[in-house]
Amino acid sequence: MTVAPIALGALLAFGLTSANGSVAQRAGWEFTGSCYCKASGELRCVPNQTEVQCRHRCTEELCDEWFWLERRPCWNWGYGG
């Protein structure tokens, strides 16, 4: 009789893991957008970043200011690029 509760617990754990999906699968559903970083008075943009990727990138680059625009391409204000 002790096998049944253990088996039920294992099935529930497997079901919950499958329902949540892997980190890569969840990341695939996140919106991407433009990541703007202002450092040393220069504003730079990298397209196709999730908000988490943008935050991580800007932390590494020691941005003074940063923002992320969901589902939008980088905008160059009409100057080149």
Give the model's pLDDT for residue 17. Answer: 46
pLDDT tens, residue by residue, 8-46: 565 555 544 444 555 555 555 799 999 999 998 999 999
Give the model's pLDDT for residue 81. Answer: 46
Yes or no: say if 67 and 75 are a contact pair by the CB < 8 Å rule.
Answer: no
Burial 2-40 (b: 16+ CB within 10 A, else e): eeeeeeeeeeeeeeeeeeeeeeeeeeeeeebbbbbbeee
- In the chain, where the domains are located: 34-74
Residue 3, pLDDT above cutoff 70: no
Give the model's pLDDT for residue 31. Answer: 94
